[in-house]
Amino acid sequence: MVRSVGSGVGDRVFAAKYADDVLAATSPHLSVLDELGDHLGVLWGALVACVVVVLLTPAVGGMARRLGVVDVPGGRRINQLPVPRLGGIGLFLGVLVPALAFLHVGHETRGLLLGAAVAVSVGIIDDFRGLPWYAKLAGQTAAAAVPAGFGVWIDRFTLPFVGIHTLPSSAGIPLTIVWIVAIMNMVNFLDGLDGLAAGVVAIAGLTFSVIALSLGKPDAAVLSAIVFGACVGFLRHNFYPARIIMGDSGALLLGYVVAAVAVQGLLKTAATVALFFPLLVLAVPIVDTTFVVVRRLKHGERIFEADQAHLHHRFLRRGFSQRRAAVTIWVWCLSLAAAAFATRFVPFRAHGVWHPWWTLLAAAIGSLAVFWSVYVVYVLEIVKLGNRIQRRRKPGDPLRKTA
């Protein structure tokens, strides 16, 4: 039986169409268009979220300026002018309003939204006064525990050649909390360039929405589409040169929502490759955080101490502008999202039979993702394209640091 948010009429209709996850998991080409036609809230949710964020964010930025909650240039910050924080408030309203309008507010939905409120509250406090790492981690854990307490936790997963495995609550709930907290921090670490985190999460939200529809998870699809719309609306004010930044309030909120919706809509299905969708789509923040943590451990530095070792900082040190660095990482994310779509929708193997032309198409899309990943590694690790620009930087410029 499909577990989805709420227990409204739409949920009962969906249960009648798909008695279990198997049909939706094995017939994606049929289920996506059918479900989109039956659940136009996916489209309306994205549109309303975008409009709400576009309209409210300037007011949030003005309030942040009056309260003095701004990012002042200096230190590890790369902005040249003071920029207001607290963009997470606009993002939260952009998620909350369409969620209340287009989702049945059942038990699990209340848990997801309550956890989102906790996450953005922790971020707001950190934006205002700063929190020590242990206090912030405690707040993130509290936010992640809320949806788990309301039933949104990994109770099963499917592995290739092994099948479906069920997890007891004693294992599934802690695993869910660790997953959500990890993604919250990864998105927070990624929020170092104007528009970067919002663009990456927008790509993840759109990808999750389409895949969730194909897996027969309309509520997760609606929430993912809302995240996509909110991020696109925020980019109107956040892309370089940013007039407002999301701050910890926005980064923790987006990380929380995208991690929770991955649990709700992707991990708990009968699709064999569903376990790998979140890992593939979120590969960029995962790789970035892994790289930074390994480096800090290697040099005996504190894991939660901010520095300029992230991938986007390395792009800047190679002479990339902020716009070019952000767009390059977006394209990387898009190539990985395309690989996820190919894995899900290209019928390269059906009923044990390989189809050569479909296999070639899937291989070509996968090769594109591999090529772009190799390109990023090549630029960041081997060739220093910005040497001439490096020499022109002033000695005190933080971007002059070597990798």
Residue-wise pLDDT tens digits, 249-274:
999 999 999 999 999 877 665 555 56
In DSSP terms, which residues pair with 159 in a beta bridge?
A: 163
Identify the segments of the chain with pLDDT beneath 50: 1-16, 18-25, 382-391, 393, 399-403
Token digits of residue 376: 């990023």
Strand 156-159 versus strand 83-84 pairing type: unpaired
pLDDT of residue 1: 33
Q: What is the pLDDT of residues 332-370, one digit of tens each?
A: 999 999 998 888 888 777 666 777 888 898 889 989 988
pLDDT of residue 38: 80
Q: What is the C-alpha radius of gyration for the chain, rounded to an integer number of angstroms?
A: 21
- Alpha-carbon torsion, ordered 74, 60, 47, 345, to 10 deg: 30
- Looking at every residue in the chain, the average pLDDT score rounds to 82
Whether the predicted model's global pTM rises above the 0.95 cut: no
Token digits of residue 279: 């890992």
pLDDT of residue 164: 72
Cβ-contact 208, 220 below 8 angstroms = yes
Residue among 50, 26, 274, 77 at smallest CA distance from 165? 274
Residue among 274, 158, 268 at smallest CA distance from 207? 274
Residue among 374, 165, 181 at smallest CA distance from 260? 181
272 CB-near residues (< 8 Å, 6+ apart) = 25, 158, 159, 160
